[in-house]
Chains A and B, each alone.
Chain A
Amino acid sequence: MTNAVIKVENISKQYRLGQVGTGTLSHDINRLWHRIRKKEDPYLKIGEENDRTAGGESPYVWALQDISFDVEKGEVLGIIGRNGAGKSTLLKILSRTTTPTKGNIKLKGRVASLLEVGTGFHPDLSGRDNVFLNGAILGMTKPEIKRKFDEIVSFAGVERYVDTPVKRYSSGMYVRLAFAVAAHLEPEILIVDEVLAVGDMEFQKKCLGKMQDVSEKEGRTILFVSHNMGAIKSLCTKGMLLEKGRLSFVGETNAAINKYLRAGLVESKGYYKNPSPRLESDILEIKVLGKDSNISERFAFDEEIRIVFRLKVSQKHFDALLGFRVRDQLERNVFTSQVPINKFVSRAGEHEIQVTIPSSILVPNRYEIVVGFHKVNVETIQFLEAPVQFVIEETGTDFFQYAGNDYGCVFVDCDWQ
């Protein structure tokens, strides 16, 4: 017997693009004509996948297509995906501000949605009035709000200002008060969209803490959309990835995050060629080579990585430095290494400099390098942000069973005694 409190069955949502004008009227009439004859809506057949960059033929797109999933009581489901993947549309349908085109959703318990903080706040009303108004909009009754009023005001930290119109509030105070109202709702299901993107760090932590309390202690179900992988990671017990309106993954949080990060990156490449090198000195080519000396982008954990830089150097840059920094997919810098080129270069012209990253140090992950060719504090000859990338595969490290977990960037063979 499952304990699902949300059951989403084959949800699809179609949107019409472009302006509403006379064309819309003719479609409406055609649609009505089909309905009268009890035929299927002709425009439901012609929708396209929601890909914003590729120009489509049809003015109809599917923002969501055939989404089905269950959420159990007490779960915190993190919904991730790129912009336009359908996250907000899904939340809108769940919070009943719009309807699905097809499919249905079954819910158990009171639903409160926080797609925005401070919905219905009126700038001219005092903080007190707005707490009552906003609470009522979110579905609280007057006695409920009265009971929690002091708690809300002190959570927001605006005791002194309760009787001042909210338009006089600082934006931080405004948002804190708005979130405080929402945080004190007592729904069985809470739907939250990116509201944490506002407020200072301290308040964000407070909000995350409050949400965690809500789900853990009070056993409430939360659906949470965010681009902040840290927040998703620390809050959610389950992750869901949407891609172009389709459900691409639902399950373990870290697995969902990794899948998202992987899908988000451009195809890795092990070769870079400078399209327009400068006259005097520049980096011409960068190659990432595997053990067979072929250009490669995938490496085993216990494999050395060779990077070859082909440079053009003029006389005045003999004292320059060549350096690179390895960065992981969370944009954390792992290490930096540099060399004065006069160690290898003594005449003007083209040169190759090779560096080897030792094996068994970088943990399985995706990396990019940042390359700098410069004279310290004098001149930057060339600076390349991620010209080449490579992947270290999990090929049986000591940590293979933690795949998907973040256990650091480097492997250190410590001496245990």
Chain B
Amino acid sequence: MTRTPSAPATLLPGDRWRWPETFAWLAVAACYVAFPDRSGLIAEILILALFAVSLDLILGYAGIVSLGHAAFFGLGAYTAGLLAAHGWSEPVTGLLATGLIVAFAGFVTSFLVLRGSDLTRLMVTLGIAMMLAEAAGKAAWLTGGTDGLMGIVVDPILGVFEFDIFGRTAAAYAAIVLFVLLVAARRLIASPFGMTLRGIKSNRLRMTAIGAPVNRYLVAIYTVAAGYAGIAGALLAQTTQFVSPEVLAFARSAEALLFVIIGGAGYLYGGIVGAVAFKLMQEWLSGLTAQYWQFWLGLGLVLLVLFVRGGLGGLAFAAMRRLKAARRPAAPAAAEERRA
């Protein structure tokens, strides 16, 4: 499936802004204006979208599978919560500090996921997340145990915008943080560093052979992704002013995987689309069948894997490709035949 890219595609910068992106962000702004009473939900979706972007960085671009990405999300939530509960109540610096701390945790644990097969990686990441979840539940003196961490006080953002009970500030705050981090991530993956990562994902052996510092790059992206997940967790702690061990639960890691897979791994926006689609579906289904919405979620997953490979993003790209092929039918068809 190698397609020769056209000259303009290779010469233009990889992270140039495309029109659907403007449209997507306008849609976010429109939702914010149109549904003021659902701001809490909007904030939650944006936070989960950031978490999904973080997982996509390692899964979609570096090919590192993880069943325990909630470890960093939860670590971020607890770090931010503890900072705020012990006097560091300025949100923006708190967010940055949390990001750095969690990124460091990611750096330390990254060496554990370099070894072994995919299966070992799935198990090690799962094990680390479960360890943290157990620890958070048991260390009641620090985390408040299963009752959750109380007493989180968050100052107004930049001293001006106070967090309100409807989540208006929270949603705007989350949207801005997501936007800034997403722009940074686009830049990162369009860089030679990102290109090398994609090379590692498709053929690690060959990348090693041409002299790419494979392990160092994997450590780097894992560290960055951990920082992103930590910031997502910190956002959740700051906007809800509450942290419980649920932030570290297995369901969170599984959900993040679902977001990325639903939306399509390796598109950055895929995780965001997945988070939006998943959360809206959850809202709709749980309104419809109360506690049994999980059944339909499961069915959706099964069908997704069986029939729709590459997620919604994959579907969209396939449709676009077909559209382009229909516009210029002769050349690609001939190329296909020659290859066959």
Chain A complexes with chain B: no
Partner-B contacts on A (CB < 8 A) = none
Partner-A contacts on B (CB < 8 A) = none
